[in-house]
Amino acid sequence: MAMPEYYLTDSELEIFQTQKAEIYQAFSAHSSSFELVELGAGDGLKTKILLSYFLSQEAKFEYAPIDISQTAVEQLISDLKTSHPQIQTRGLIGDYFLLLEQLNNHEDQNKIILFLGSNIGNFKDNEALKFLAQIKKGMKDKDQLFIGFDLKKEPQLILDAYSDPHGYTAAFNLNLLTRINRELDANFELSGFKHFESYDTHSGAAKSFLISQKKQEVYLSQLDSKILFEKGEKIFMEISQKYDEQMISELAQKSGFEIIKNFYDSSKYYMNSLWQLSTNKI
């Protein structure tokens, strides 16, 4: 994520750095106090920009990072206690949806749910709709959703981000075979597979694959199972969906949301979109 070819992080950072006042204005338009609930908070790199600015404006808010990684949450809370001790924080570890429901059951304060980093792009269309429907169940009428989208752009920029010259993405995907070898006692030969990235300019789907470089057989001892690969056969690894404005508008509408405001970086590579629950009955 830190390599220069991976433009997504820098694009979202730019939005937060240059438009933090506008973001705060949008967040606080309907309520003088709110709770920021971040799904998949990680190290909170980008969110800390907003937190610092909100403090400077004497905003009344709390911050609740949610992550499945206990280590990530504990480290983030520890960092914030050192750098921003004034912020009321509570780290939540576990399933997004269960924790959102728990927050709903005993809290009256308005929530602003952050889902950043274009993580929505890791879902196929129907899966994204199901995911957003689950988030909607954990929201009250005046809650809002602030969601990041990677936008369609020059294909080579996208391919360079996921098929980088440093080999990081390839190593990341090949590591799954290493884990299968370790955890399922398999015998994948990593040299027998090669990382490949594709991008469909029409659909906006960037997909990662591992391609078998020869005809080969893999045995998974823990499952007592054999897998046969033909030369050129692909293993689908992940999708990184890219969007245009129409796709984002349709996604919001189909999942029961209305767009309040969109924020773009200067190159229009990326968008953060603020949504509220739709007032239209579908």
Structural domains of the chain sorted by starting position, each given as residue range(s) with its CATH number in brackets = 7-151+243-277 (3.40.50.150), 155-241 (no CATH)
- Give the bridge partners for 272, in sequence order: 148, 263
In this structure, the number of other CB atoms found within 10 A of the CB of residue 226 comes to 9
Whole-number pLDDT of residue 280: 75
Low-confidence ranges of the chain (pLDDT < 50): none
Residue 215 · residue 231 · CB < 8 Å: yes
Report phi then psi at 267, rounded to 5: -90, -5
Whole-number pLDDT of residue 230: 98
Residue 87 · residue 111 · CB < 8 Å: no
| Both tokens assigned to 263 | 């924020």
* Residues near 187 by beta carbon (within 8 Å), at least 6 away in sequence: 181, 218, 219
pLDDT, tens digit, for every residue of 168-194? 999 999 999 999 999 999 999 999 999
- The residue assigned the tokens 């003088």 is 32
Whole-number pLDDT of residue 281: 56
Whole-number pLDDT of residue 192: 97
| Both tokens assigned to 191 | 């040299």
Strand-pair category, 270-277 with 144-150: antiparallel
